[in-house]
């Protein structure tokens, strides 16, 4: 057994907050590749819905890999893995990628399953998006299984599981919170203005978002900001992809965003939006935080955060009144 596999043999599941934005997703993918990927892994399965960031995570884990479902619409044809058993000499690829949901529109599932197993049998590495759709046709599970929703789940299955179906409900059901949070975060950014956002850093929490400011606390009327965002939610404005660096929200000007595909389709889909009513001082990292929550439990999450900030003497006296 390889060293990295010995180190991970007791791995049940590891989870990370799924970051919003390509750069942070690339960084997480690179980190996961270093920590969990073994050179002996042959079959790697990804699970997650459209807009979850699977492609960005794959790019981070496998720099330079050409994806066959390229987002710009330049799709690799014919699908390289279908010719894996043909003789190509020295230039035969070592790593293949395929998106099962996409490819099922062109090729029968059993043919895709056969090609996957042929490639694995030849010592190739196969990276499969929507692995749950092809697993029933394969005689084996993935060597490494990764689910992407609100969190990124990493597991190394054995004959006892987990099966991809066990991750499907978790990642698919949680993704909506990430989409809502990202959209609410961007609407907050629109109303805060570009000058303030120059000094803003982004962070992730469960069912919400964090805008972090170093050096000094931002001058923000949180009550007014929340009213403006709620008004946009009430208007149910369309949220659309503009390009790889921008989104469009209603009739606002094009807004910079490095995760333009990770949004709800309209602001009315954001449920339970709330901003924590005070700027929080993070004395562990010496920064000031504006915290937002979404979802049906946002009030409870606000209450828990307030409780976590107790006792009062631990609060920054210049921030909390």
239: alpha, beta or left, given left = phi > 0 and alpha = psi -120 to 50?
Answer: beta
Position 315 pLDDT exceeds 60: no
The three-class DSSP label of residue 106 is coil
> Residue 313 has what pLDDT?
46
Is residue 170 situated within a structural domain? no
Residue-range definition of the domain harbouring residue 119 = 3-162
Residues 6+ apart with CB under 8 A from 187: 229, 232, 233, 249, 267
Q: What gap in Å lies between CA 258 and CA 246, rounded to an integer? A: 7
Q: What average pLDDT is seen over the chain?
A: 88
**pLDDT level of residue 185 (50, 70, 90 thresholds):** very high
pTM of the complete model? 0.83
Same domain, 87 and 190: no
Quote the percentage of the chain above a pLDDT of 90. Answer: 66
Same domain, 28 and 155: yes
Crossing angle (nearest 10°) for helices 22-36 and 54-61: 50
Average the pLDDT over each of 126-135, 271-280, 301-310 and give the range with the smallest value: 301-310
Q: How far is CA 321 from the centre of its chain?
A: 36
pLDDT tens-digit map of 112-124: 999 999 999 999 9
Same domain, 23 and 156: yes
Same domain, 90 and 219: no
Average the pLDDT over each of 56-60, 256-260, 275-279 and give the range with the smallest value: 256-260
- Among 107, 131, 162, the domain-final residue is 162
Q: How many structural domains comprise the chain?
A: 2
Q: What gap in Å lies between CA 170 and CA 145, rounded to an integer? A: 14
Same domain, 98 and 199: no
Position 317 pLDDT exceeds 80: no
Tokens standing for 49?
A: 């819905």
The three-class DSSP label of residue 293 is strand
- Residue 162: asked if its preceding bond is cis (omega within 30°), the reply is yes
Same domain, 145 and 203: no
Same domain, 241 and 291: yes
> Residue 314 has what pLDDT?
44
């Amino acid at each position: 057994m390889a060293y990295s596999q010995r180190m991970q043999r007791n791995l049940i599941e590891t989870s990370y907050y799924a970051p919003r934005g390509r750069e942070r997703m690339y960084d997480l993918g690179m980190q996961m590749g270093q920590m969990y990927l073994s050179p002996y892994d042959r079959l790697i399965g990804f699970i997650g819905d459209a807009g979850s960031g699977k492609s960005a995570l794959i790019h981070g884990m496998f720099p330079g890999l050409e994806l066959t479902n390229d987002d710009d619409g330049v799709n690799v044809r014919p699908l390289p893995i279908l010719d894996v058993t043909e003789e190509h000499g020295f230039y035969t690829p070592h790593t293949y990628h395929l998106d099962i949901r996409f490819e099922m529109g062109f090729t029968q599932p059993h043919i895709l399953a056969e090609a996957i197993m042929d490639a694995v049998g030849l010592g190739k590495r196969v990276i499969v998006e929507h692995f749950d759709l092809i697993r029933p046709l394969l005689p084996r599970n993935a060597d490494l299984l990764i689910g992407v929703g609100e969190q990124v789940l990493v597991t190394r299955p054995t004959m006892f599981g987990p099966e991809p179906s066990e991750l499907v409900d978790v990642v698919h059901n949680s993704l909506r919170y990430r989409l809502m949070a990202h959209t609410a975060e961007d609407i907050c950014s629109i109303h805060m203005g570009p000058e303030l956002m120059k000094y803003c850093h982004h962070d992730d929490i469960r069912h919400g978002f964090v805008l972090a400011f170093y050096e000094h606390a931002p001058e923000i009327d949180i009550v007014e900001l929340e009213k403006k965002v709620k008004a946009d939610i009430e208007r149910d404005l369309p949220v659309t992809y503009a390009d790889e660096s921008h989104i469009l929200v209603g009739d606002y000007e094009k807004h910079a965003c490095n995760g333009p595909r990770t949004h709800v389709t309209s602001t009315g889909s954001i449920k339970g939006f709330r901003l924590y009513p005070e700027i929080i001082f993070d004395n562990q990292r010496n920064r000031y935080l504006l915290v937002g929550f979404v979802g049906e439990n946002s009030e409870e999450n606000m209450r828990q955060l307030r409780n976590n900030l107790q006792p009062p003497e631990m609060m920054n006296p210049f921030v909390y009144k």
